[in-house]
A and B are shown apart, each in its own frame.
Chain A
Amino acid sequence: MVLAVLIAAVVFYVADFLTAAPAAVSAVTQNGTAHLTLQTMASYGHAPDPDWVTYMAQDQNGNWQHTTIYKLPAHTLVTVTLYQFDSATGLRNPFLAQVRGTQGGFAVINGKPVTVLNPDLASHTFSVPDLGVSVPLPGVPSNAKNTCTAGPCSLSMAHTTIQFGFMTPGPGTYRWQCFVPCAVGFYFGNGGPMQTIGWMSGELEVT
């Protein structure tokens, strides 16, 4: 009897571990274009890991959700507006400072088109390797005032604004991730939130 309960508990734990995933946020589609609004911050500020760096996404009602799984329509232009509230960490591989795979080959950063960012100024990236898309996200100055300490961050706080567009391919699930080793206190900066879906990487569910 005890053994059966133990086995059931283990099976439940493993099943829960394997199936647990953040809820998905759908892009807002209008006039044949999908729009995704995201933000990044240095620390989520809430349980279970208030100190972890993370992304958040805005749902169709305008509410910020803690998820990195986005539903996008296939063969559609997706425009992304990304509010970046974190300071710079710097890229481990400067190659990723180049904007790739976006519409026009550039991203608009604080109103200016940019094709290559100084690698030292990068705070995060939004990269979809399978689609050849990669956009470096500049950090806010380290001496900036009114910095965000918990998500979701208000646009009245210090931030940079990054906008870009990319075309989705056919239906499928495509992983995306940040390529800046931005996980504080983890080995080589690539543990914790960098290794956990829902924080600094996720999936694009293209349908």
Chain B
Amino acid sequence: MIWAVATAIVVPLVIWVVGPHIPPDHASVQSSDQHTINVVLTSLATPVLLFIWVYFGYAIAVFRRAGEEIVDGPPLEGNARVQLIWLAVTSVLVLGLATYGTVDLLNTNGAGDGSGQGPSPLVKPPSGQKVLQVQVIGQQWLWTFRYPSYGGVETPYLAIPANEYVAFHVTSLDVDHSFWAYELGVKADAIPGNDNVAYVKALKVMSFQIRCAELCGLWHGHMNTIGHVLTQAGFAAWIAKQQLDYRGVTPYLPPYSNVYYPPPSRRA
């Protein structure tokens, strides 16, 4: 009874009061999906947590030893009904959540929900949608970005247009890194020789944090930068400026490729 009342009070609070503050934000289709899943998971976990806390408190209060006790209590014989209910409830919860998560991952609108899907993505954006290709290159300790549809220009800055699918092709030139665009809900490992594809569709003009989420050496904690979601016109102007700013070094870049195997340096 105590548990039922607590659940009836706390779960709505979790959904409508705490829920809006659970990360990530609704900055992209993918982060919005992740946010919804986090709220659902938290809401379903709350009754379980409350059950444990309520039972714990009840046991402390009711079964508290009153006086001297020198003998063991009666042996526990088990309770088939309780065990069956426990098994059934937890099975339904776990299998239901697994099904929910799998269906959500396979939804083409989410296109993998921002996770790295490897070189052959299982879920792609809906057919007919324009997809901007952006290569993310990790190196100790800097992110750079190449835009193959704009002459393969490389830049240390990341900008993408709003309301358009973007395919991040994440790779590395040295050790393992992990590309994490926090507010966009994108996280994909950057592995040498691997083209790890993650999709995102940003929903509004904004700035977002980019971090490395894989311990990668001395300056791992500094391997971060700020990305920007721009309007279509803003992006066109921005990419034109990048092409201009880096026109001198672009001829020295290797031809665009999904992965790079930089030749071993003469020294190393």
Contact = CB atoms under 8 A, between A and B. Distances in A.
Interface of A: 88-90, 92-95, 97-98, 100, 115-116, 118-119, 127, 129-130, 132, 175, 177, 179-186, 188-190, 194-197, 201
B173 A129 contact: no
Contact of B141 (A97, A129, A180, A188): A129
Nearest to B248: A116
Contacts, number: 88
B266 A88 contact: yes
Given A88-B266, A188-B174, A175 B222 contact: yes
A195 B141 CA distance: 11
Contact of A93 (B173, B246, B268): B173
A95 B144 contact: yes
- In terms of DSSP, what is the predominant structure of the interface of chain B? loop
B154 interface: yes
Interface in B174-194: 174-175
Interface string B142-177: 101000000000101000000000000000011100
A98 B139 CA distance: 16
Contacts of B154: 95
A95 B141 CA distance: 14
B248 to A, nearest CB: 4
A98 B248 contact: yes
Interface stretch (B20-28, B30-38, B230-238, B249-257): B249-257
A54 to B, nearest CB: 14
Interface string B208-249: 000000000111001001000000000000000000001011
